Amino acid sequence: MKGKIAFEEHMAIEETLAQTKDFAGDSGRFDEFSNEILDLDELRLATMDRTGIELALLSLNAPAVQAILDRDEAVAVAVKANKRMAKAVNDHPDRYRALAALPMQDPEAAADELKRCVNELGFKGALVNGFTQRDVEDSAIYYDVAEYRDFWAVVSDLDVPFYLHPRMNIPSQSLIYEGHPWLRSAPWGFAVETSTHALRLCGSGLFDDFPNLRIITGHLGEGIPFGLWRIDARMRFSPRGYRGKRPLGDYFREHFHITTSGNFNDAAFRCTLEMMGADRLYFSADYPFERMEDAANWFDSTPVIDDEQRQTIGRENAIKLFDLDM
């Protein structure tokens, strides 16, 4: 399929590049991987051309800003990353848009940076790499807590999507993975961490306060669509601490949007499609952590959807979600 739009497509700046090394695959590939994630010109564009991706919304790699303990440094790195993405969009206006990196260590600064990126630079939303560390290494702050309500008010006022992207939990909070460090990473821990964060947002009353919020998750929903029926079924018996006014599944289906990034599997896709509907699904690749070729070859040929749905999921939904001028 030609004309696809993808928006879990990562870039890096020199300050955040080293954080990708553990996810580059074979350690001997890091030089090649570095070229891919730093490049926003011929190399990336040529791969997009080969795979039928017309437009990519760029975002900063993980955990990047969210792992910086000092607030001022976090602001500086976010601003630098956003400046680099803005340049790429300016250089290739027909091929790129951008999602802002945000210094969530300071909710007011994060809100100000989002306003700047949307109103002055034309960014289409934000992508944040999970929880934020602040001041001390052993910290993890999630965005359902009260100090972020004013930040969410700004997201609501701007009416732009917020992509909740994975990161690994910190070792002190990962005792269940002890002796099995591979579990903390992309094979399992990414989904556990991100899905739990997403469920916290659903259960916090956030969407009652801001009913127009739109949250994106990748990897076919980080496992939530598969478990959504049981979550709602058991919540009837154990809702202690739940602050939503409606069933959790209602919030998830109404406020969450899901991409195919890094999960190119027919069975998982079928489940997500049945639980969420085609109007809540989107194509993405997760480049360069995944290959655009793998993402596109699977999506273009999967028998789970027909050609009309392929066009809807691969292109039209993203145009609506991000209000793209194309």
The dihedral sign for the CA sequence 46, 49, 53, 56: positive
- Distance from C-alpha of 26 to C-alpha of 29, rounded to nearest angstrom: 5
- Token pair for 228: 């959504």
Tracing tokens 């809100």 back to the chain, one arrives at 111
Residue from 41, 106, 286, 307 carrying the catalytic annotation:
286
- Token pair for 132: 């934020």
325 catalytic per annotation: no
Are the C-beta atoms of 215 and 201 separated by less than 8 Å? yes
- Token pair for 52: 């039928």
| Packing angle of the helix pair 30-38, 42-51 (nearest 10 deg) | 90
Scanning the chain, the segments in alpha helix (DSSP H) are 14-17, 30-38, 42-51, 71-91, 107-119, 149-158, 189-203, 206-209, 224-235, 248-255, 266-276, 292-301, 307-311, 317-322
First CA to last CA distance, the chain: 17
Specify the DSSP element, H or E, that contains 141.
Answer: strand 136-141
Q: What angle do CA 241, 247, 249 make, to 5 degrees?
A: 115
CB 239: neighbour CB atoms within 10 A? Answer: 13
| DSSP one-letter string for 106-129 | SHHHHHHHHHHHHHTT----EEE-
Q: Could you list the active site residues?
A: 286
